[in-house]
Amino acid sequence: MKYDQEYIYTLLLRKQLGELSEVEDTLLQNVIHTDEQVRKCYYEQEEAKLYTDNAFLDDLRVEHDWLKVAAVLAPKPLHTRIFLLAKRHSTAAAVFITAVTCAGSWMVYTKDYFQTPAETPVYSPIVHRQAPPAVKTTVSKAVVLPADTTVHVTTNPALLAANMPVTPAGDTVATEAVNPLAGKRITHDSIYQSSTIEWNTLTVPPRTDYRIELSDGTEVHLNASSTLRFPFIFPGRTREVYLEGEAFFTVAHDPKHPFIVHTGTTSVIALGTEFNVNSYDHNIITTSLVTGSVVTDVGDSLDVTLKPGYEAIYRPGERFKVKRFDENVTLGWRDGIFRFQNKPLDNIIPVMKRWFGLKVSFATPGMADQLISGDLDKDKPVTDFLNDICREKGLDYKIYDGTIHFTVQKQ
């Protein structure tokens, strides 16, 4: 066998990848002895390995960069390709076009035929009316929304409408099993035929969180007092949703259809990743990346690409700030635990409101700045947590009028 340059250099590269077999390695060593050019490259490579810090190689994001390349390489849209094909084979094209026209008219015919008696359009508005009440719910009605439930939003809106208000708390819904409207499903086709996307709004009241699976397989874990606006299907080139509050996204991998989360001020673009977006405060939007890669964007050129373990903090009018984050702290809410580590006492204000519906007041302004540490567990009485921190800091508290009043401990 003749070992040519192409083969030898592949060996060099694969040597670097650490996947050479013993035989291949011996072969490479032999060539290094005889071929000066290869020897030079080999020693350069070995030397560079010693002196380059690995950060450069670790920083390379192959998948991300491939997407950039693929965007350039991606085939032209279908209609252009058909056009080009038609130019090349004009006879075949004529036949094809005729066939398409026939099929098209048949489809139009059948669509009309099936749609006339069907009641499908009725269900779309139902969903719209069913979902928004959750938005405006007061606490009394909010109890209806089941906690810790997985609702599969398939392309069948009727399912969601039927399931959401009635399921008891703590259940995981097997959508197929409890589907009273099975006979009257809205099929994919009827939705694709509709020209507008139907949007649904899901609001999670205080003191609960909520998991939902979108039609593309993306999982969204919504924190309390959050709102997600999403379409039942994602027919376009992008998958876009709108978020108020906080949510953890596990985006289904689909590089061709970027997933975009809009908050009031920023957008997060993801391809197949896990990340947390916190937008409770409109003036501080935090995007924390767990795996994969996301780009945060405010509509100008100052977008930021995040690496896992980092979060981007955005305040309107300022640049993104990127820093490491502690998963236990940032994602603690997902386990129903909010961890404070040497945080000023007033940091509990938002979470008290979100999880327990309580306001906070301090007898003296200085109290708000006292640093506290402790785990606030959503499923335990709030008094456990308050007792702990008060004992530690020499404070006292009373809860009345839906407010926690902190006072100095009386001797």
Enumerate binding residues for another protein (CB under 8 A). 4-14, 16-17, 19, 21, 23-24, 27, 41, 44-45, 48, 52, 56-57, 59-60, 62-63, 65-66, 68-70, 72-75
334: CB partners within 8 A, 6+ apart: 209, 221, 248
218 contacts: CB under 8 Å, gap ≥ 6 = 239, 249, 250, 251, 252, 259
55 or 177: CB nearest another protein: 55
Q: Which residue, 18 or 365, has its beta carbon nearer to another protein? A: 18
Q: Of 29 and 52, which CB lies nearer to another protein in the complex structure?
A: 52
Minimum Å distance from CB 333 to another protein?
A: 35
Distance CA 362, CA 365 (A): 6
- Cβ closer to another protein: 64 or 207? 64
Could you tell me the smallest distance in angstroms from the CB atom of residue 255 to another protein? 10
**Which one, 72 or 177, has the nearer CB to another protein?**
72
For 69, half-sphere exposure in the C-beta direction (CA atoms, 13 angstrom radius) is 6
Measured CA to CA, the distance from residue 106 to residue 121 in angstroms comes to 22
Please say which residue, 65 or 392, places its beta carbon nearer to another protein: 65
| Shortest Cβ 306–another protein spacing (Å) | 18
Nearest to 304 by CA among 290, 317, 323, 326: 323
Q: Residue 301 class from Cβ within 10 Å (0-12 exposed, 13-18 middle, 19+ buried)?
A: exposed
Least separation in angstroms between CB 9 and another protein: 3
Report the nearest approach of another protein to the CB of residue 22 (Å).
Answer: 11
Q: How far is the CB of 30 from another protein (least distance, A)?
A: 13
DSSP secondary structure, 1-61, as one string: ----HHHHHHHHHHHHHT---HHHHHHHHHHHHH-HHHHHHHHHHHHHHHHS-THHHHH--
